[in-house]
Structure 1
Amino acid sequence: MEITGLGWLGTRTRHASELADFYGNVLGLPLTHQEEGFWVFELPEGRNVEVFADDHRGKGHFDTGPVAGFAVQDLPAAVAELRAAGVELLGEPGPTWQHFRGPDGNVYELVTG
C-alpha cells in the first residue's frame, strides 16, 4: 500500500462547539459545512478536518481520540491489504474511506486520495 499523505482528521468530543470555534476563529480554518453536532473545516490543500459532537450519530466507534485518515491511491487494494494482515476493520468500507483499529488500540482510517 502506498500512503500519499494525511487525508483527513476527525474528532468526536463532548466539547465539539468549543473545538469548532477554535478551528474557525483561532486557527482560521474556513467552515465549509455545519449541521447539528457536526462541523467541516477545509485545510489549505483541500482536505477536511471534521468535528463531531459526542452524541452525533454514526461516530460511536471514534472512542480513542482524534481519528487520522491516511490517503491512498487505491482504496479497495489498501483495504484488502489490511484484511490480509489481520487488521480489525470497523464497519464496511464507505465510498471513500475505511476505518480500522491500529495495534495501539486507536481508530484510524484510509481515505481515497
Structure 2
Amino acid sequence: MKTQGVTWNAVVTDDFDNTVGFLKGTFGLSAAVEFPGFAMFPQANGGILEVYAEGNTPPYGFNGGVVFGFRVEDIEAASAELADAGVELLGEVNRLDTGYAYRHFRGTDGKVYGLNEDPQETHTKA
C-alpha cells in the first residue's frame, strides 16, 4: 500500500463550542460541515480536521481523544491489504457524494486509525 500522507485528523473535546470557536476565530478556519457535536474543517493542503463532542464518536472511540488517518489512492485495496495483514477493520467503507471515502481500523497497537481516499486530490509522488 502506498500512502499519500496523514490527511485526516480528529479530536474529541468536552469543550466543543469553545474549541470550534477558537479554531474559527483564532485560526480563521471555516467549517464545511457543522452540526451539534461535530465540525469538519478542510485545510488548504487537502487535509481535514474534525472536532467531536464527547460521546459523539463511533462506538469504538477515538483513542481517548485523538486520531488520524492515512490518505490512500484506493481505499478498497488498502482495506484488503490491512485485512490480509490481520488488522481489524472497523465498519464499512463510507463514501460521500463527493467521492471522498473513509474507513477506520484498529492498528496492531490497539489504537484506532483511519484510511481516506479523495479522488479530487493528487498528492501522489512519482
Common fold, TM-score beyond 0.5?
yes
Gaps of 5+ in 1: none
8 Å CA contact retained: 1:11, 1:62: no
Matched, 1:13 2:13: yes
- 1:91 corresponds in structure 2 to 91
Equivalent AA in structure 1 for residue 91 of structure 2? G
Q: Distance in 1 between matches of 2:60 and 2:23?
A: 23
TM-score in terms of structure 2 length: 0.79
8 Å CA contact retained: 2:7, 2:46: no
Gaps of 5+ in 2: 96-100, 119-126
Q: Distance in 1 between matches of 2:26 and 2:108?
A: 34
TM-score in terms of structure 1 length: 0.86
- 1:4 corresponds in structure 2 to 4
Query: CA distance change for structure 1 residues 6 and 53 in 2, over 3 Å: closer, same or farther?
Result: same
User: Once superposed, what is the RMSD of the aligned Cα atoms?
Assistant: 1.6
Say which of 105, 108, 112 aligns to 1:107.
112
Identical amino acids, percent of aligned pairs = 38
The number of equivalent residue pairs is 112
8 Å CA contact retained: 1:12, 1:59: no
SS in 2 for 1:76: helix
Equivalent AA in structure 1 for residue 67 of structure 2? V
SS in 1 for 2:94: coil
8 Å CA contact retained: 1:9, 1:69: yes
- Post-superposition offset of 1:107: 0.9
